[in-house]
Amino acid sequence: MSDYLSKINGIDDLKKLKGSQLKELAAEIREFLLENISQTGGHLASNLGTVELTIALHHYLNSPTDKIIWDVGHQAYTHKILTGRKDCFINLRQRDGMSGYPKCSESPHDIIGAGHSSTSISAAVGLSLARENLDQIGDIYAVIGDGALTGGMAFEALNHAGHIGSNINVILNDNEMSISDNVGAISNYLSNLRNDPTLKKVKEDIEFLINKIPKFGKTVSNTVDRVKDALKYSFIQGVLFEEFGFNYLGPVDGHNIIELMKYFKQAEAVAGPVLLHVITRKGKGYPPAENNPDKFHGVGPFNIEDGSSKKIKSKVSYSQVFGETLKRMAAVDKRIAGITAAMPSGTGMGIFASSYPERYYDVGIAEQHAITMSTGLAKGGMKPVCAIYSTFLQRAYDQVIHDAAIQNIDLTIAVDRAGIVGNDGETHQGLFDYSFLRPVPNLVMMAVRDAEQLQQMLFTAVNYQGPAVLRYPRGSAAGEYIPHKVSDLKEIEIGKAEELIEIDKEMDLTILAVGSTVEPARKAAEILNNNGYQTALVDARFIKPLDEEMILRALKNSKNILTVEEQVLAGGFSSAVLELAADSGIALKNLKRIGVGDEFVTHGGMEEMKKEYQLDARGILKKALSLLVQAEEVNRLWPEKKD
């Protein structure tokens, strides 16, 4: 077998290959991706689907003079291989290793960093305007998936590009999926284009015949125009995009490199914006991923033979606890509805959907619409529970304020993946929600510490009359998960913290923790108490409203205060504590805060990154001892294990 991949160290090497050699290279790249992702984990199905498309783009274009912009970016692994980074895959998504997304600091070929969807066309329009103003050269290609077209930003960009006639090429990578199955009218529209190849031939024949009509005289000219319009709306595909001002080409087989490059050449000959409709198969070439593309969208290390995970999953996840609890609650309350934005399996909402499909709504990649639609459900008498990842909720901030909070809507927002999420890196860390939600009037915000509390807090949020936010992290749930009957669930008093280790007078230290940091803080507090330090522990439970009485009592009765939150420090839980102290006239001399400073948290394993930011039990203990005595004593109380 040939070995073309070993000779590819950059774009110039790729351009030396022709015809069947490129097809063989595609097969080698698929094998390379499987071998490497099976070891490190990563985005598999989406990358297997774009191998030929990426080869064709880089063979035809001259990157980075010609600019390729990847929407979301989880389909750009072949792009990284071809631009000189194949040796970096051994550390893919590992700390200090290569990012799983386009990252400008990695390579000049990564034109725009990406992690969220529906952004590529907007960036392409901006690049085209800069090119015109600065008399630059180079073609501009935006690669966007069909699932990303459900994001309103993509249509805002299409509208603007068509209006100003931007000379850009948009490649619609149509694989019938985003992460889970695509939903909505756009998906149905593309399906019709994809599944009726006769329309393409009809279009070509009609245009040929029209071009043969003699164009003289006003009457004939007007007749031809009317015929064109009538035939266009009756037969010709791509009408939607043409109405946006784009020239539509396709659909074309996205796994035929030579055919793709012919279409690129055709697109270059057309003035103004072009949309090239490319059909690919997610998971192409690997049967387990082809058959279950959603399962193989983002994977951990797996066995290539059958696709089974190499990791033994021993505990239930927070998302599963959420989904199962919501399902049980919906059985006794027919007003409960579940909403998600293209993440049914990731959020656990799919568990609810399997039993109550008539009350389940997946709006696609459209977080803004998800929130505002939920407010409409609430106004109509339903009790909506909208589950969105923390990082994606950022996209719906205006809707949270304007449509939910101002109107004091009875809505529960379940914020999944809150805190450090690990290998996806900067764009996916859920580290800002305390800060951007805490200032919003009318909102109640609570943070989950374990499986038991998640059940009680979800019950509390759904029964609270107003907008309530429930925040929980990624991964295995802390504590024991004992599914409760709905009749056994109790509402938590709004704004009431929990004293896990009692605050007495003259405490050496009180730890004020919240959410995922409570259990590691408990371990640190127990070690301190066992070694002679009078240490109290408070689970704040509520970010908003704070339990002012309990926190003020802790501030007054403790020589030292330590706050812990899996969040950026600016504007977060500790900021609320400091504001309360200042407003109450309490001078704090010995207070330290644990959280994330003024920086973006990069990619790496979740536990590794928590350790980096002292959010594990040992880190909390070390920080506490820096208040009480000296940090070095941590080595006596909790020695570092040697490998």
Which residues belong to the annotated binding site for thiamine diphosphate?
Answer: 74, 115-117, 147-148, 175, 286, 367
Selecting among 131, 284, 328, 395, the annotated active-site residue is 395
Annotated catalytic residue, options 28, 52, 176, 367: 367
Binding residues for Mg(2+): 146, 175
Annotated binding site: 74, 115-117, 146-148, 175, 286, 367
Here the contacts of 124-128 (C-beta below 8 Å, separation 24 or greater) are 124/67, 124/69, 124/157, 124/161, 124/166, 124/168, 124/170, 125/157, 125/160, 125/161, 125/164, 125/166, 125/168, 127/67, 127/69, 127/168, 128/161, 128/166, 128/167, 128/168
| Cα 387 to chain centroid, rounded | 13
Can you tell me the distance from the alpha carbon of 356 to that of 358, in angstroms, rounded to the nearest whole number? Answer: 5
Is 395 considered catalytic here? yes
Residue 306's CB is within 10 A of a number of other CB atoms, namely 8
Q: DSSP states of 40-87 as a string?
A: H-EE-HHHHTTHHHHHHHHHHS-TTTSEEEESSSTT-HHHHIIIIIGG
Element housing 616 (H / E): none
Question: Which uninterrupted H or E stretch holds 171?
Answer: strand 169-174
DSSP string covering 576-609 = HHHHHHHHTT---SSEEEEEE-SS---SS-HHHH
Catalytic one among 282, 328, 417, 541?
A: 282
* Side-chain-side CA neighbours of residue 106 (13 Å): 27
C-alpha gyration radius of the chain: 28
For residue 385, give the 3-state DSSP assignment: strand
Residue 622 CA to its chain's centroid (Å) = 33
Of 581, 575, 580, 621, residue with least CA distance to 596: 575
In 3-state terms, what secondary structure has residue 636? helix
Name the nearest CA neighbour of 419 among 391, 456, 455.
Answer: 391
- Cα distance between residue 348 and residue 341, in whole Å: 12
Note if 218 is an active site residue.
Answer: no
DSSP-derived pairing of the beta strands 42-43 and 298-299: antiparallel
Strand bridging mode 383-389 / 336-340: parallel
Q: Is position 335 annotated as part of the catalytic site?
A: no
Whether residue 251 is preceded by a cis peptide bond, meaning omega within 30 degrees of 0, is yes
- Enumerate the active-site residues: 282, 367, 395
